[in-house]
Amino acid sequence: MKTDLRRRQNSSKLGPIEVVADYGDLCGEGPLWDYEKQILYWTDIDGKKFYRFLWNERRHELVHDGFQVNGSCMQEGGGFLVTNSQGIWLWDPQTKPTLLASEVDGNDCVMNDCIADPEGRVYSGSYHYNPGGVAAPSFLFRVDTDGSVHVADEGIQFSNGLAFSRDCSTLYFSDSVARCIYAYHWHRESGNLTDRRVFVRVPREQGFPDGLTVDAEGFIWCAHWFGARITRYDPDGKVERVVTLPATQTSSLAFGGPDLDVIFVTSAGMSNMLAEAPPGYDPDKVYVGGRLYQMRSDIQGRKEYRSRIRMGVRR
Residue 312: per-residue pLDDT:
59
> Among residues 111, 117, 228, which one has the least CA distance to residue 163?
117
Domain contains 222: yes
pLDDT(4) > 90: no
Average pLDDT, the chain: 94
Between residues 130 and 299, which one has the greater pLDDT? 299
Domain contains 312: no
pLDDT(189) > 90: yes
Which are the contacts of 247, defined by CB distance < 8 A and separation ≥ 6? 228, 267, 268, 287, 288, 289, 290, 291, 293
Domain contains 309: no
Domain contains 135: yes
Task: State pLDDT tens for residues 237-260.
Answer: 999 999 999 999 999 999 999 999
Domain contains 1: no
Number of domains in the chain: 1
φ/ψ (deg, to 5) at 285:
-110, 5
Residue 134: per-residue pLDDT:
84
- 196 close to 182: Cβ distance less than 8 angstroms: yes
Domain contains 232: yes
Task: State pLDDT tens for residues 196-231.
Answer: 999 999 999 999 999 999 999 999 999 999 999 999
pTM of the model: 0.94
Find the CATH number of the domain harbouring 257.
Answer: 2.120.10.30
Domain contains 238: yes
pLDDT(8) > 70: no
Structural domain of 241: 7-296
Summarize the confidence of residues 276-291 as an average pLDDT: 97
Task: State pLDDT tens for residues 139-169.
Answer: 999 999 999 999 999 999 999 999 999 999 9
Domain contains 273: yes
d(CA 234, CA 304): 20
